[in-house]
Structure 1
Amino acid sequence: MTKKTWLLGLGFFSISITWALYNAFVPLFLAQYLQKASLIGFMMTIDNYLALFIQPWIGHRSDRTNTRFGRRMPYLLMGMPLAALFVTLIPWYTSLSTLVIFMVLMNLSMSLFRSPTVSLMPDITPEPQRTKANGIINVMGGLGSVLAFGVGSILYKIGTFVPFLCAGVIIIGAMLILKFGIKEVPNPIANKDVHAFSKPRISLRAQLDRTTILILSAIFCWFLAYQGVEAMFTLYGTKYLGLSGSAASFSLTFFSLAFLAFAIPSGWLGARYGKKRVILSGVVGLFIIFSAIVFVHHLLALRLLLVAGGLFWACININSYPWIVSTGSEESIGTRTGLYYLVSSLAAIISPPLLGLLMDQWGYPALFITASVGLLLALLCLLPIPSELSRTEGDPTVTNVRL
């Protein structure tokens, strides 16, 4: 499991390094044509809008795909070369229209393989080991982001196209490693009468039982809190706490590094003590941290709280995807992956403008007050969910698991 998991982590590494470079430098390209930050911000959310529709459909579709390459791999073999091409083309724009075209095509290409790549993890990993595996691949993704910010700025000075070219090469390299390093098991629901890319038989509505709806609601609420804080924290730090822009952004690094450091341990805790229990402790802990930050004005105290917040966020984030997958059957992994990205992307779209509006109306402390309310709502969604669930009623191949 470990070797395959680290190999799969390279796929997350390539995705993370590409998005980090995209988020770091594309706004600079857009700023040459757009004067309003709001318009630039809207353009940078294209991926979230596509994720609302394409990723759930692709994940749902891959559950029924049956080819000699596997059920997930065809989407990687189609999407990754296209993404590598269009991310390489982005800095070669000649006008706003060509820049937007390259951006949209790159986002479409990334949407083709993100859900299938994520779905590979539970495909190749036994259920009791999935939280540990998710911790490993999140570490790989985090390292990709760190490398993108650290090395990407140096490459950008050499030429604006260089970091994007490197991202394209990394995507192709990751695709080849995944293609030859991971052999997919036969589709468990495939049969001789099912053709490749046949019409899915698993309805999305059938997946939305009470437990799934409660978990998805909780995911939406805690991402609403997290995405808003991530997007608006530098504004909070500079306008309310009086920090410089660099000090405010650097403070948020403490949160990210703590998350990265605790990603693998939180996965181990989820496997050892149960995913729901660890997530609950993370939600309660992060609620306390965000509530306390409202009253903190000292920089050192703020950063210490952010370190603790990163640890609690790891407990939530590392265990949430394996949990939503474990509450369904093996044949619905791609569908549930798409649903996970649907609600998290919806939160990413709604949260920054919503929290920004509340900050305008009630002042900057409204950021962490609202984020705390989001976590409280997530907690209320989690409490009715039983700790032991039958993954698939009536399926003799699937056993009960303690969550």
Structure 2
Amino acid sequence: MNKKYVPYIIGLPNLGVGLLWAMNMSVIPLFISKLNVSNAQQGRLISMGAFTGIFVQYLVGLLSDRSNFKMGKRKPYMIMGSILSALFLTLLPYSKGYSTAFILAFLFYFFLNFYQGPYYSLIPEAVDENQIGLANGFARVVSVVGSAIIFMLGPKLWDINFKYPFYLGAVLGLLTVIITVFLVSEDTSKYEKPNRISFDFIKFPSVIKLYLSVFMVYMSFGFITPFFVKYCTTNLNISNTDANNALLILTLAGAVFAVPIGKLADKIEKRKVLLLGVVLFALSLALGTFITSKVALFVMMSVIGIGFIAIQITTYSILAEIVPPERLGEFMGMMNLFISLPQFLANNIMGYMLDTFGYRVYFPTAAIAMIIAGIIVLTSRFNKYVSKGISNSI
């Protein structure tokens, strides 16, 4: 394939990734609500996505870094994970009780993380260095498209048959991976195979700072995601459709700004773009408590969409430049620990807080976590990795 098309083709699987994680905010909570469970139980099940992400992506990153299959070191894991995640997602709506739903959801999340980690490692390996921001930016665009598909079609398909959104997610998640695996070539010849497993990311100060900022961003995100639709319907008297429209607006705002932000991150210090995203997100959350109308909610979600897409693009782009290239899969997987662990904690903490204190703590708690993330980014520098020292900030 012509190299100029690779930054775009490599983004296709993120449509499925975006769609499947968007189900975590809309369709899956709706299905779990059908089982008549508490907020704490709903948060516990949804948090399995984050819980499996704590260890799965890291372990698969270690394995893929040290693999040497004929088709490449990332693709086999992408194929296996996408097939099995599609299978368990298809089975999930057939659950008759909470325990069965919990097991099937756990397996779905496990294999979604199983292929997501190698996929994100493949992006910077498949494109030229000066196109990493563009590739990540376009990947976020198609992720937003995937989210938009489920936010627009999910409620409509749900009204026809509540199983249909699950079928849609399974088909698109699998199809986009298969297309990319056959169209994009892996070039791993320039990387040496790591000799040993080493839990030594603490030796990289820039990596630690990035991981800590990511931890607080996703702590904030985890406080919000499983309960947003329920918050809108019970506290703002907004319909399920309008709550999903608010999530759609968030994703569309991200889609509009993803490629420009990706290109901007290729041209200026990426830390500044990351800081901008965190500030926009934090300010929106801080004002969320005072929102009482649908229009104000939509405006808030637009700003959050811009901020969140800036965070997503820059964190992956920064990490690709501050770690040893031959260990990229390992460090990508480790970063997902700092993405998943805070969401696991936040989902469960917020479920308990809502049952105990009510929704008045909903936005303020999330805002405080995002402000802490901003402070970390503001006081940090992310230095580019070179084999014999440290070079300029990025």
Give the structure-1-normalised TM-score. 0.84
User: Is 1:322 aligned to residue 317 of structure 2?
Assistant: yes
Query: Structure 2: which amino acid aligns with 1:47?
Result: G
Structure 2 CA distance, aligned partners of 1:94 and 1:363? Answer: 29
Secondary structure in structure 2 of the residue aligned to 1:70? coil
Aligned position for 1:344: 339
Which of 156, 164, 168 does residue 170 from structure 2 map onto? 168
Structure 1: stretches of 5+ with no match in the other structure: 192-198
Task: Confirm or deny: 8 A CA contact 1:16 1:145 kept in the other structure.
Answer: yes
Contact 1:14 1:170 in 2 (8 A): yes
Structure having the higher Rg: 1
Aligned 1:280-299 pairs, distance under 5 A? 280-297=275-292, 299=294
Superposed, which structure 2 residues align to 1:25-104 within 5 Å? 25-27=27-29, 29-31=31-33, 33-93=35-95, 98-104=100-106
C-alpha contact (below 8 Å) 2:286/2:364 kept by paired residues: yes
Q: Which residue of 2 aligns with 1:196?
A: none
Match of 2:145 among 138, 143, 146: 143
Does 1:218 pair with 2:220?
no
> Cα–Cα, structure 1 residues 31 and 277, in superposed 2: closer, same or farther, change >3 Å?
closer
1:28 and 1:373, CA in 2 relative to 1: closer, same or farther beyond 3 A? closer
Larger relative contact order (CA 8 Å, sep ≥ 6): 2
Query: Which one-letter code corresponds to 1:221 in the other structure?
Result: M
Worse-superposed segment, 310-319 or 362-371: 362-371
1:391 aligned counterpart, secondary structure: strand
- The answer to whether structure 1 residue 244 and structure 2 residue 241 are counterparts is no
Counterpart position of 1:185: 187
Say whether the 8 Å CA contact 1:321–1:340 is kept in structure 2. Answer: no
Q: Distance in 1 between matches of 2:23 and 2:140?
A: 17
The equivalent of 2:118 in structure 1 is: 116
Question: For residues 9 and 163 of structure 1, do their structure 2 counterparts lie closer, same or farther at Cα, with a shift above 3 Å needed?
Answer: same
Aligned pairs, number: 391
CA displacement 1:96-121 (0-9 Å, x = unmatched): 65544433333332232110011111
Instruction: Tell me the distance in 2 between the aligned counterparts of 1:158 and 1:296.
Output: 32
Map Cα deviations across residues 107-147 of structure 1 (whole Å, 9 max, x no partner): 33223211001111111123332222111111111111211
In the alignment, is residue 274 of structure 1 matched against residue 269 of structure 2?
Answer: yes
Q: What SS is found at the alignment partner of 1:44? A: helix
Name whichever of 88-97 and 276-285 sits farther off: 88-97
Change (3 A) 1:208 1:158: farther
TM-score by length of 2: 0.85
Per the TM alignment, residue 232 of structure 1 is displaced from its structure 2 partner at its CA by 4.2
In structure 2, do the counterparts of structure 1 residues 258 and 160 end up closer, same or farther at CA, with 3 Å as the change threshold? Answer: closer
The structural deviation recorded for 1:333 is 1.2
Alignment partner, residue 130 of structure 1 = 132
The 3-state SS of whatever aligns with 2:72 is coil
1:314-358 per-position Cα deviation (integer Å, ceiling 9, x unaligned) = 222221111122111211211121122111111211224434656
Equivalent residue, structure 2, for 1:367: 362
Change (3 A) 1:99 1:349: closer
For residues 46-88 of structure 1, the C-alpha deviation after alignment (integer angstroms, 9 at most, x for no partner) is 2211111111111122112112111101211322222233333
Distance 1:107 1:307 in 2: 28
Aligned to 1:16: 18
- Shifted more, 63-72 versus 180-189: the winner is 180-189
Mapped contact 2:381–2:393 kept (Cα < 8 A)? no
In the aligned structure 1, how far is the partner of 2:227 from the partner of 2:97?
30
